[in-house]
Structure 1
Amino acid sequence: MKRLVLLLALALPACGLHPLYEGGGSGPVARRLAQIEVAPIAGKTGYLMSNALRDRLPGSDGGAAKYRLEVKLDDSIVGLGVRSDNTITRERRSLRARYQLVDAATGETLLDATAGSDAGIDVVSSEYATIAAENTALENLSNIVADQIVTRIAIYTRRASAK
Structure 2
Amino acid sequence: MRALILTLACLALSACGLSPMYAGGGSGAVAQGLAAVEVSAIEGQSGWLVRNALNDRLTAAGSASPQYRLDVRLDDQLEGLGVLRDDTISRERRTLRARYQLIDLSTGDILLDATAGSDAGIDVVSSEYATIAAEQTALENLAQDVAQRIVTRVALALRKEQ
Q: TM-score range by the shorter chain?
A: over 0.9
Question: What is the root-mean-square deviation in Å for CA atoms of aligned residues?
Answer: 1.5
Separation of aligned partners in 1, 2:92 and 2:123: 6
1:141 counterpart residue number? 142
Separation of aligned partners in 1, 2:134 and 2:78: 12
1:51 counterpart residue number? 52
Structure 1: which 5+ residue stretches go unaligned? none
1:66 counterpart residue number? 67
Cα drift, residue 96 of structure 1: 0.4
Q: Give the TM-score of the pair, scaled to structure 1.
A: 0.92
Structure 2: which 5+ residue stretches go unaligned? none
Separation of aligned partners in 2, 1:155 and 1:103: 15
Q: Give the TM-score of the pair, scaled to structure 2.
A: 0.92
Matched, 1:94 2:95: yes
Separation of aligned partners in 1, 2:124 and 2:18: 45
Separation of aligned partners in 2, 1:5 and 1:106: 48
Give the share of equivalent positions with the same residue, in percent: 64
Separation of aligned partners in 1, 2:33 and 2:11: 32
Aligned length: 159
Separation of aligned partners in 2, 1:83 and 1:12: 56
Matched, 1:103 2:104: yes
Cα drift, residue 4 of structure 1: 5.6
Q: 1:84 to 1:34 in 2, by over 3 A?
A: same
Which structure 2 residues correspond to residues 1-163 of structure 1 after superposition, within 5 A? 2=2, 5-58=6-59, 59-61=62-64, 63=65, 65-161=66-162
Cα drift, residue 78 of structure 1: 1.2
Q: What amino acid sits opposite 1:128 in the alignment? A: Y
**8 Å contact kept, 2:50–2:144:** yes
Q: What amino acid sits opposite 2:122 in the alignment? A: I
**8 Å contact kept, 2:76–2:96:** yes
Separation of aligned partners in 2, 1:50 and 1:129: 26
SS at match of 1:89: strand
Separation of aligned partners in 2, 1:45 and 1:101: 20
